[in-house]
Chain A
Amino acid sequence: MTYVVTDGCIKCKYQDCIEVCPVDCFYEGENMIVINTEECIDCAVCEPECPVDAIKPDTISDASKWIALNQKYAEIWPNISEKGEPLADADDWADTPDKLAQLSENPAQH
């Protein structure tokens, strides 16, 4: 059992989830954050923290797609354990649906 980050996060990266994760299982790309599904302990604390409801349990209907995406990038992007700033135009993208085409495969640059 795991939680996954869905496309609501793309181009936002609000990062409220980072602060509450007890196992630091979030990984950061250029414009999205994902969960390492093998490290997540399914504690559910992050789910309600996301202001755009991007975090979902693995019981949603299209969970397998999101588990695969989260695990793929968790293995190549750097770990993030401390909350940073949301992307500059996060609020402009917060309500946009179906943002998967906007996903950058690049890791976060700090």
Chain B
Amino acid sequence: MSLDAVHEKSEFPIPTGVFAQTVTSVHHYTERLFKFRITRPASLRFRSGEFMMIGLPNAEKPVYRAYSVASPSWDEELEFYSIKVPGGPLTEHLQRIKVGDAVLLRKKSTGTLVNDALLPGKRLWMFSTGTGIAPFISLIRDLETYEKFERVILTHTCRDVAELTYGKEQVAAVKDDPLVGEMAQGLRLYSTTTREDYPFQGRITDLMASGKVFDDLGVSAISPETDRGMICGSTDMLRDTKAALEGFGLTEGSNSRPSTFVVERAFVD
């Protein structure tokens, strides 16, 4: 029996209480990054920016991991953007999925990177590293984001230039989108690298401290009167970016207590 045949034969039943969905597309960006899309359960409702638990039907008790939905709440499919961790309990297998394969989804979506958790403001900053850009790819495709904020600035920092591709591609697609494109013309993407030569380099916290990010974008520094923030990335990045925003006078909020910035902690290692 070939490896492929083994892969297609699911020996395990679909657990109760979860959605079993079908992979509709897979695209590998680098050796470490890929995106995939799956069918959307008809009964699923979620808010743009939320995350869900994903698993594979490959064990009696499948391993689930939190993944931000990268598609907006109105999309017909669900998109996810993933790393590939060598030996990772889920991603080791998830990275091999093909069109037609089954993916399990637990039924609840949740998260703090939602428009509801922020007080009204003029500018929305979305700070991301690596696959932390995913919830923002959902939010920049949602009209509500542009109804709530006049300007939207998405920052994305990765080690290498190739890792910036997904963000660039998605922002370009949003601007071309017949539904949200017109509203999204003011959307800015600020991509930086930390390990490879690129026109914009450095950690976003350093670039905020030096003021370079504001100079590069030609915008005023962050102020609690006008600016709102959302943060998604590695543990260190969350801590440092949170401290930076607090330094500008912003305070952390949540679904029950909206404020001037929010942090997603579901993916920290």
Tell me whether A22 and B51 are in contact (CB under 8 A).
Answer: yes
- Cβ of A16 under 8 Å from chain B: yes
Alpha-carbon distance between A16 and B257 when the two chains are bound, in angstroms = 13
- Cβ of B53 under 8 Å from chain A: yes
Once A22-B52, A22-B53, A48-B257 are accepted as A-B contacts, the answer to whether A41 and B110 lie under 8 Å apart by CB is: no
Tell me whether A22 and B66 are in contact (CB under 8 A).
Answer: yes
Tell me whether A43 and B110 are in contact (CB under 8 A).
Answer: yes
Tell me whether A45 and B256 are in contact (CB under 8 A).
Answer: no
Alpha-carbon distance between A76 and B179 when the two chains are bound, in angstroms = 51
Tell me whether B53 and A23 are in contact (CB under 8 A).
Answer: yes
Alpha-carbon distance between A41 and B265 when the two chains are bound, in angstroms = 10
- Cβ of A20 under 8 Å from chain B: yes
Which among B110, B255, B257 has the highest number of chain A CB atoms within 10 Å? Answer: B110
Tell me whether B266 and A43 are in contact (CB under 8 A).
Answer: yes
Of A24, A44, A48, A49, which is within 8 A of B266 by CB? A44
Alpha-carbon distance between A98 and B77 when the two chains are bound, in angstroms = 48
Mark interface residues in B77-106 (1 if CB within 8 Å of A CB, else 0). Answer: 000000000000000000000000000001
The size of the chain A interface, using a CB distance under 8 A, is 15
Mark interface residues in A1-42 (1 if CB within 8 Å of B CB, else 0). Answer: 000000000000000100011111000000000000000011
Q: B16 to nearest A CB, angstroms?
A: 12
The size of the chain B interface, using a CB distance under 8 A, is 18
- Cβ of B251 under 8 Å from chain A: no
Residue of A nearest to B265 (CB): A44
List chain A residues, Cβ under 8 A from B255: 20, 45, 48-49
Say whether chain B's binding surface is mostly helix, strand, loop, or mixed.
Answer: loop
Alpha-carbon distance between A21 and B52 when the two chains are bound, in angstroms = 10
Tell me whether B106 and A45 are in contact (CB under 8 A).
Answer: no
- Cβ of B112 under 8 Å from chain A: yes
Tell me whether A21 and B110 are in contact (CB under 8 A).
Answer: yes
Alpha-carbon distance between A78 and B264 when the two chains are bound, in angstroms = 29
Per the 8 Å Cβ criterion, residues 109-135 of B in contact with A are 109-112
Tell me whether B254 and A22 are in contact (CB under 8 A).
Answer: no
Tell me whether B254 and A48 are in contact (CB under 8 A).
Answer: yes
Of B109, B256, B265, B268, which is within 8 A of A22 by CB? B109
Alpha-carbon distance between A14 and B254 when the two chains are bound, in angstroms = 17
Once A16-B256, A44-B266, A49-B254 are accepted as A-B contacts, the answer to whether A24 and B111 lie under 8 Å apart by CB is: no
- Using a CB–CB cutoff of 8 Å, the interface residues on chain B facing chain A are 51-53, 64, 66, 106, 108-112, 254-257, 265-266, 268
17 additional A-B residue pairs with CB within 8 Å, beyond A41-B53, A43-B110, A44-B266: A20-B108, A20-B110, A20-B255, A21-B108, A22-B51, A22-B53, A22-B106, A22-B109, A23-B53, A41-B266, A42-B266, A43-B266, A44-B112, A45-B111, A45-B112, A45-B265, A48-B256
* A/B interface sample: 15 pairs, CB < 8 A: A16-B256, A22-B53, A22-B266, A24-B108, A41-B66, A41-B266, A43-B66, A43-B266, A45-B110, A45-B255, A47-B254, A48-B255, A48-B256, A49-B255, A49-B256
